[in-house]
């Protein structure tokens, strides 16, 4: 997959294009991407996604923007896994925010990207003051020589699948519902960096994973699996939060304690997969109380994996 950090002035390579944030790359996004790839192959042109950095809400109201489900790197990896040929990561700045909708169609969709087939969601808005929509794009289709298709919402159990719905499930600790909306377990990937040594000092050494975003959509103590350190995912327990017992006004950090593991992994890229929420983050009266609770958390996580292993080894009862 090719990743371009800006749209060219003019392209001589036509594409099949979709535009959006694609935060989380959930099952609704995947349905769009599958249709995009099919249309591109039918026309023997590359499939292309245009996304923005920062996301528009982060540009207009950074303090009110929703937490990101995926960092830019995670999003690109997920788009690559779906089979997209090209991703245009366009900087969303003042110039982009002020661009009239008709200018966006002429400058970006037509001249820069050479769009021959265009797909947008049913709630897609673009251009200054969000004045552009599907109808405007359709009105220019003949002039600029592209086909256009609107993609409807994907529903699951009566719920419209969206990044907002995934965030709500994660915030509520409902990891199973989030998994169904995403089509996979929610995970955070990043490099292991040196922390302040608090976990080791308390008897629970942790891998401190760089978050790659200012806000995260969940917090608390979790049963996790960590991929990237061997042929199989490693079991553990993780804390994601500001650590109120040991820090004042701390930033959110992700710390994963891996069971029966003792290796130097600084700088390694890992993926922490969230399996079960154990509890919310708490401020304890003393560090000693925190350590006792950490022991309980670790035991609960071990019990979870032990129970899961027993279930996975259970023989399947055939027909009698």
Q: What pLDDT, on the 0 to 100 scale, is given for residue 250?
A: 67
Cis preceding-peptide flag for 236 (omega within 30 of 0): no
Alpha-carbon distances, residue 191 vs 110, 186, 215, 270 (angstroms):
38, 17, 17, 6
Q: What pLDDT, on the 0 to 100 scale, is given for residue 320?
A: 40
Q: Cα(226)–Cα(231) distance, rounded to whole angstroms? A: 11
Q: List domains and CATH numbers for the chain.
A: 2-160 (3.40.50.620), 185-313 (2.40.30.30)
Q: What pLDDT, on the 0 to 100 scale, is given for residue 10?
A: 80
5: three-class secondary structure by DSSP: coil
Q: What pLDDT, on the 0 to 100 scale, is given for residue 14?
A: 95
Q: Cα(128)–Cα(95) distance, rounded to whole angstroms? A: 10
Tell me whether strands 47-53 and 86-91 are parallel, antiparallel or unpaired: parallel
DSSP 214-246: S--S--EEEEEEEESSSSSPEEEEEEEE--TTT
Q: What pLDDT, on the 0 to 100 scale, is given for residue 212?
A: 85
Q: Cα(239)–Cα(294) distance, rounded to whole angstroms? A: 10
Tell me whether strands 115-121 and 147-151 are parallel, antiparallel or unpaired: parallel
Strand ranges (DSSP E) for 162-300? 187-193, 207-209, 220-227, 234-241, 253-258, 269-279
Q: What pLDDT, on the 0 to 100 scale, is given for residue 311?
A: 60
Q: What pLDDT, on the 0 to 100 scale, is given for residue 251?
A: 79
Per-residue pLDDT of the chain (320 residues; tens, 9 = 90+): 999 987 777 877 899 999 999 999 999 999 999 999 999 999 999 999 999 999 988 989 888 899 999 999 999 999 999 999 999 999 999 999 999 999 999 999 999 999 999 999 888 999 998 999 999 999 999 999 999 999 988 999 899 999 999 999 999 999 999 999 999 999 999 999 987 766 666 678 889 999 988 889 999 999 999 999 989 999 999 999 887 666 666 678 999 999 998 888 899 999 999 999 999 998 888 888 888 999 999 999 999 999 987 665 656 554 44
Q: Cα(243)–Cα(240) distance, rounded to whole angstroms? A: 8
> Nearest 5 degrees, angle CA 53-CA 72-CA 223?
140
Q: Cα(90)–Cα(136) distance, rounded to whole angstroms? A: 21
């Amino acid at each position: 997959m090719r990743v371009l950090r800006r749209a060219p002035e003019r392209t001589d390579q036509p594409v099949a294009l979709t535009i959006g944030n694609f935060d989380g790359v959930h099952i609704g996004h995947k349905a769009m991407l599958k249709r995009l790839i099919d249309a591109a192959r039918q026309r023997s042109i590359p499939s292309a996604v245009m996304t923005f950095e920062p996301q528009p809400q982060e540009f207009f109201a950074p303090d009110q923007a929703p937490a990101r489900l995926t960092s830019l790197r995670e999003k690109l990896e997920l788009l690559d896994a779906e089979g997209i040929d090209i991703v245009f990561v366009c900087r969303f700045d003042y110039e982009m925010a002020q661009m009239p909708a008709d200018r966006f169609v002429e400058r970006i969709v037509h001249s820069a990207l050479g769009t021959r087939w265009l797909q947008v969601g049913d709630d897609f808005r673009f251009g200054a003051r969000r004045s552009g929509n599907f109808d405007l794009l359709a009105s220019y289709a003949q002039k600029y020589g592209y086909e256009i298709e609107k993609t409807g919402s994907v529903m699951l159990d009566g719920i419209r699948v969206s990044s907002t719905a995934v965030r709500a499930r994660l915030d509520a600790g409902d990891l199973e519902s989030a998994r169904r909306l995403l089509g996979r377990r929610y995970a955070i990937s990043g490099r292991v960096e040196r922390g302040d040594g608090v976990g080791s000092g308390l008897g629970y050494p942790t891998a401190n994973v760089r978050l790659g975003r200012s806000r995260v959509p969940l917090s608390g103590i979790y049963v996790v699996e960590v991929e990237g350190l061997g042929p199989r995912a490693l079991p553990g327990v993780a804390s994601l939060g500001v650590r109120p017992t040991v820090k004042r006004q701390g930033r959110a950090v992700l710390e994963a304690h891996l069971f029966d593991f003792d290796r130097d992994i600084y700088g390694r890229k890992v993926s922490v997969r969230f399996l079960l929420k154990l509890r919310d983050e708490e401020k304890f009266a003393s560090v000693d109380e925190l350590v006792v609770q950490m022991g309980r958390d670790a035991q609960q996580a071990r019990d979870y994996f032990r129970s899961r292993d027993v279930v996975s080894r259970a023989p399947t009862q055939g027909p009698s």
